Amino acid sequence: MNARFVGFGTLEIDGQRFSEDVVVRGGSIEPRRKEASRALKARYGHTPLSEHEPIPWQCATLIVGTGADGRLPITDTFRSIAAERGVKIVAVPTEKACQLLNSADLSTTNAILHLTC
């Protein structure tokens, strides 16, 4: 997989451009469905990554691209669930997350990539 953070709000994966957050699951790309996390926006000042979303837990490592400036909040419960499942969370700004994804084994690694803030 060739992922590249083009800049605030834009991501390119294998030549295809995205302007919305994405989930990489088993090498497939789908939109991040964050609607269920929006109820937490007032608490975090931003829609966080939460356990209420469909999370691609079927992996050993979950790369979380936290945005251009690394501001995507991640709930404590999300982190606890990951630990219970034995999933290692690697939360880094999205540009770095793309670099990690490019060298990752997609049979054991999934990703959630936030494209703004």
Please give the pLDDT value at position 19.
98
What lies within 8 Å, CB to CB, of 42 at 6+ separation is: none
Q: From CA 19, how far away is CA 21, in angstroms rounded?
A: 7
| Count of structural domains within the chain | 1
CATH of the domain at 79: 3.40.1230.10
- Could you give the CA distance from residue 65 to residue 102 in angstroms, rounded to a whole number? 13
Q: Which domain holds residue 8?
A: 3-114
pLDDT on residue 35: 97
CA-CA distances (angstroms) from residue 114 to 9, 81, 82, 86?
8, 20, 18, 23
pLDDT tens for the chain, 117 residues long, are 999 999 999 999 999 999 999 999 999 999 999 999 999 999 999 999 999 999 999 999 999 999 999 999 999 999 999 999 999 999 999 999 999 999 999 999 999 999 999
